[in-house]
Amino acid sequence: MQKGEYIHNLLKEILRLNPKGITVSQVDKSTYLGRSTIWHHLEILASRAECLKIQRGDIDIYHSNKVLESLKDFNINGIDFYYNFDLVENTFGKFLRLQMKQEGRTGSIVNDCGILINLKFFGDVLSSLNQIKENI
């Protein structure tokens, strides 16, 4: 396991154990990783939709996303990219998570980026996507 993957797994476990969310300072006080390392890796997790980042003033709070259901029947396997769908839940409700993945340097599939769509607004997002499709 590479160092980055180890840190991501450690931070995801810390997130899971803190359902009300965590800040970089809180993780810094309980680990020996260092603030910049913690911030860097939490930002990567948030950009991949593996956690949810909420800004409260000048403080960023990171929340765990619990996978309720992997929607594998809807995954899209393209030539260069793969799109995975999951139903996830966090403090703020249920979300559809869409992640774009591709083959990494070692040949394994790695998560590049992702988005979370709150299920309360799923119909609105779908309507907007359909309108965009009609105008392209």
Name the pLDDT band for 13 (thresholds 50, 70, 90): very high
Question: Please, which pLDDT band fits residue 97 given cuts at 50, 70 and 90?
Answer: very high
- Does some domain include residue 98? yes
Mean pLDDT of 43-55: 95
In a domain? residue 100: yes
Tell whether 126 is covered by a domain.
no
Number of folded domains in the chain? 1
Please check the confidence at residue 1 and state whether its pLDDT lies above 70.
Answer: no
**Is 134 inside a domain boundary?**
no
CATH of the domain at 96: 1.10.10
DSSP state of 22: B
Q: What is the pTM of this model?
A: 0.87
CB-count exposure of residue 73 (10 Å: 0-12, 13-18, 19+): exposed
Q: Which residue is associated with the tokens 């950009």?
A: 47
Q: Which domain holds residue 96?
A: 3-121
Asked whether residue 135 is domain-assigned, the answer is: no
Convert the pLDDT of each residue in 78-87 to its tens digit.
Answer: 888 899 999 9
- The residue with greater pLDDT, 65 or 1, is 65
CA–CA separation, 16 and 63 (whole Å): 8
Query: Quick check: is 22 in a domain?
Result: yes
Residue 97 lies in a domain: yes
Report yes or no on 117 lying in a domain. yes
